[in-house]
Structure 1
Amino acid sequence: MARRWLYIFHRWTGIVLCLFFAIWFLSGLVMLYVSFPSFRAGERVATAAPIDWGQVHVGPGQALARLNETQFPTEMRLGMTAGEPVYRFVTQAGRRAVSAKTGGEIHGVDASRARQIAGMLVGAPALSVDLVDHDQWVVTRSYKAMAPFWRVRLADAAATDVYVSQKTGEVVQNTTAHERFWNWLGAVPHWIYFEALRVFQEPWRQTVLWTSGIGMLGAVAGFWIGWMRVRLARRYKSGSVSPYRGWMKWHHVIGLFGGVFLIGWVFSGWLSMSPWGGLGDKRRADVASLYTDARSGFPATDNATLARAAQGAREVRFAYLGGDPIISIWGRGPTALLDAKSGNAMVPDQAHIVAIAQRAMPGARLTEVDRLEQPDRYWYSTGDLRDDSRPLPILRLKFDDPARTWLHIDPATGALLGQLGSGGRSHRWLFNALHSLDLPWLLIWPPARHIFIWFLSCAGVVISLSGIVIGWRRLFPHKKTTARMVA
Structure 2
Amino acid sequence: MTSIWRRAWPRIRHWLYWTHRWLGIGGCLLFVMWFVSGVVMMYVGYPNLTDEERLAGLAPLRFEQAQVSPMAALQVLPEDVRALQPRRIGLEMQAGSDAGPVWRIVDARGGRHTVSARDGQVPGPVDAAQAEAIARAFSGHPDDANVHWAETLERDQWTVPQGLNPLRPLHRIALNDAAGTELYVSQRNGEVVRDTTRSERFWNWLGSVPHWIYFTPLRADPPLWHEVVVWLSAACIVSAVTGIVIGILRVRLRRRFRNGAVTPYSGWMAWHHIAGLVGGFFVLTWIISGWLSMNPNGWFQRGPLDAAAMARYTGAGTPALAWPPAVLPTEEGDAAAREAVLLWFDGRPLLQLRDARARVRVVDAATGAPASFGKEEIRRAAARLRPGAPVTLAVLQTREDFHWYGHHRERVLPVWRVESTTRRAAGST
Alignment-mate amino acid for residue 360 of structure 1: L
| Residue in structure 1 matched with residue 106 of structure 2 by the alignment | 90
| C-alpha distance in 1 between matches for 2:418 and 2:240 | 41
Shift of 1:72: 4.3
Work out whether 1:138 is the aligned partner of 2:154: no
| C-alpha distance in 1 between matches for 2:424 and 2:219 | 33
Does the Cα contact within 8 Å between 1:150 and 1:166 map onto a contact in 2? Answer: yes
| Residue in structure 1 matched with residue 215 of structure 2 by the alignment | 194
CA gap 1:317/1:309 in 2 versus in 1, 3 angstroms: farther
| Residue in structure 2 matched with residue 28 of structure 1 by the alignment | 38
Render the CA deviation track for 1:298-334: whole Å, top value 9, x for unaligned.
Answer: 6232366224489811211112113321111111675
Work out whether 1:254 is the aligned partner of 2:270: no
| Residue in structure 2 matched with residue 3 of structure 1 by the alignment | 13
Choose which of 81, 84, 98 in structure 1 pairs with 2:94: 81
SS at match of 2:328: helix
Does the Cα contact within 8 Å between 2:85 and 2:108 map onto a contact in 1? Answer: no
| C-alpha distance in 2 between matches for 1:172 and 1:40 | 9
Shift of 1:134: 1.2
| Residue in structure 1 matched with residue 184 of structure 2 by the alignment | 163
Does the Cα contact within 8 Å between 2:330 and 2:336 map onto a contact in 1? Answer: no
Shift of 1:289: 4.2
| C-alpha distance in 1 between matches for 2:346 and 2:140 | 41
Shift of 1:102: 4.2
Does the Cα contact within 8 Å between 1:61 and 1:300 map onto a contact in 2? Answer: no
Choose which of 106, 111, 121 in structure 1 pairs with 2:138: 121
| Residue in structure 2 matched with residue 478 of structure 1 by the alignment | none
| C-alpha distance in 1 between matches for 2:90 and 2:411 | 21
CA gap 1:42/1:351 in 2 versus in 1, 3 angstroms: farther
CA gap 1:21/1:288 in 2 versus in 1, 3 angstroms: farther
Alignment-mate amino acid for residue 251 of structure 1: H
Render the CA deviation track for 1:7-60: whole Å, top value 9, x for unaligned.
Answer: 111111112221111111111111111111122434322433322446444444
| Residue in structure 2 matched with residue 406 of structure 1 by the alignment | 424
Shift of 1:296: 9.3
Aligned length: 404
| C-alpha distance in 2 between matches for 1:164 and 1:284 | 30
| Residue in structure 2 matched with residue 353 of structure 1 by the alignment | 378
Render the CA deviation track for 1:55-77: whole Å, top value 9, x for unaligned.
Answer: 44444444444436344421111
Does the Cα contact within 8 Å between 1:305 and 1:343 map onto a contact in 2? Answer: yes
| Residue in structure 2 matched with residue 340 of structure 1 by the alignment | 365
CA gap 1:327/1:145 in 2 versus in 1, 3 angstroms: same
Does the Cα contact within 8 Å between 2:160 and 2:219 map onto a contact in 1? Answer: yes
CA gap 1:282/1:365 in 2 versus in 1, 3 angstroms: farther
CA gap 1:42/1:360 in 2 versus in 1, 3 angstroms: farther
| Residue in structure 1 matched with residue 347 of structure 2 by the alignment | 323
Instruction: List aligned pairs for 1:33-432, cutoff 5 A.
Output: 33-53=43-63, 55-67=65-77, 69-82=82-95, 84-92=100-108, 94-123=111-140, 125-280=146-301, 285-286=306-307, 287-295=309-317, 299-302=321-324, 305-308=327-330, 312-331=336-355, 334-382=359-407, 387-401=408-422, 405-411=423-429
Choose which of 15, 18, 23 in structure 2 pairs with 1:13: 23
| C-alpha distance in 1 between matches for 2:318 and 2:220 | 35
Q: Which runs of 5+ in 2 are unaligned?
A: 1-9
Alignment-mate amino acid for residue 90 of structure 1: V
| Residue in structure 1 matched with residue 7 of structure 2 by the alignment | none
Identity of aligned residues (%): 39
| C-alpha distance in 2 between matches for 1:32 and 1:225 | 33
Alignment-mate amino acid for residue 48 of structure 1: L
CA gap 1:251/1:296 in 2 versus in 1, 3 angstroms: farther
Which deviates more, 129-138 or 49-58? Answer: 49-58
Alignment-mate amino acid for residue 306 of structure 1: L
Does the Cα contact within 8 Å between 1:59 and 1:303 map onto a contact in 2? Answer: no
TM-score (norm 2): 0.86
CA gap 1:318/1:283 in 2 versus in 1, 3 angstroms: closer
TM-score (norm 1): 0.77
Alignment-mate amino acid for residue 426 of structure 2: H
Alignment-mate amino acid for residue 357 of structure 1: A
CA gap 1:297/1:188 in 2 versus in 1, 3 angstroms: farther
Higher helix share: 1
Does the Cα contact within 8 Å between 1:301 and 1:343 map onto a contact in 2? Answer: no
SS at match of 2:327: helix
Does the Cα contact within 8 Å between 2:90 and 2:105 map onto a contact in 1? Answer: yes
